Amino acid sequence: MYEIRFHGRGGQGAVMAAQTIAEAAILEGKQAQAFPFFGAERRGAPVMAFARIDDKRICDRTQVSEPDMLVVMDESLLEIEPVASGLKEGGCAVINSRLEPSEVDLGTVTRCVSVDATSIALEMLRAPIVNTSILGAMARANDFVSLGSIQQAIMNRFGEKLGEKAGRLNAEAAKAAFERSREGLCKGERKVQKKNAWLPTWQETPPGVALPRTSKAGMAVGPGSMTQNLTGSWGVSFPVYDEERCIKCQRCWFICPEGCIRRSPNDDLEFDLRYCKGCGLCAKVCPKDAISMRRKEASA
């Protein structure tokens, strides 16, 4: 699996870049996903987006904490965010900068592609929206997706939204960035803080991190009110857990929107079906098919 983490600022198009690289991968017959980190949605605020690409089904739905590729769309983020945190050994960084790779200090010595994406965007698109230029530099950094597929995905996505001419211009900006990118090794002098991984390990999760077993009478709204909302009646199906297949990866626990999966003291999973709304997400993310969804019996 190839994992990418984008760091940008609101308005630079980090989310669109993640979606476009995923679409390019899909055009090549691969599996892909892309999603943003929702923080304060404000132009100029630091934002993140993530993408995963693989030849097989992707079960992981967590944020990317250990990327193979790091994309920095605004070099000023190096001063305020530990952007290189978790970058895999042998990974690479793509950075929007006028500096040569050897002058960029990411806090870790790694293969780096630098490109002056802001100048390319201003020159070709008349706006400092650097996402399509960055996509071209990404193709230069690694051939996990070809430049041709990236250009096609740009024309599909941007053309649909902004018109055919804008789609073509953005695809040309990607090609220009591909050609003007510079490759090298960056510096590792800056101190990079470690970011905590988003998903705790099985051993770190305390038993019983789910809704309490009993619900008490009380307020219908406000903190804790979800215990009284028995969402288990909402669904048409329910999960069936096969303990033999389970490898305790916790993906189901992590994804359950209703908090109804509990780690029991003997390390098995327990499903509190009073709150299960039958969304099926737990079964969808399970890499071992240890959860299957079964249709509820019709009630008289």
Q: Which is nearer to ligand SF4, 102 or 201 (CB)?
A: 201
Q: Which x/- pattern, by CB under 6 A, does the window 263-282 give for ligand SF4?
A: ------x-x----xxxxxxx
Q: Which of 25, 51, 120, 256 binds ligand SF4 (CB under 6 A)?
A: 256
Residue 247 makes contact with ligand SF4 by CB under 6 A:
yes
Q: Which of 213, 288, 295, 296 binds ligand SF4 (CB under 6 A)?
A: 288
Q: Which is nearer to ligand SF4, 9 or 263 (CB)?
A: 263
Q: Which is nearer to ligand SF4, 153 or 285 (CB)?
A: 285
Residue 250 makes contact with ligand SF4 by CB under 6 A:
yes
Q: Which is nearer to ligand SF4, 30 or 277 (CB)?
A: 277
Q: Which x/- pattern, by CB under 6 A, does the window 82-101 give for ligand SF4?
A: --------------------
d(CA 7, CA 87): 13
Residue with tokens 């033999």: 244
Segment near ligand SF4 (CB under 6 A); pick from 39-47, 85-93, 125-133, 249-257: 249-257
Q: Which of 7, 9, 140, 251 binds ligand SF4 (CB under 6 A)?
A: 251
Q: Which is nearer to ligand SF4, 7 or 277 (CB)?
A: 277
Chain-centroid distance of CA 219 in Å reads 36
* Residue 264 CB partners (closer than 8 Å, separation 6+): 207, 208, 270
Q: Site size for ligand SF4, by CB under 6 A?
A: 27
Nearest distance from C-beta of residue 63 to ligand SF4, angstroms: 17
Nearest distance from C-beta of residue 179 to ligand SF4, angstroms: 44
What residues make contact with ligand SF4 under the rule CB under 6 A?
239, 246-252, 255-256, 258, 260-261, 269, 271, 276-282, 285-286, 288, 290-291
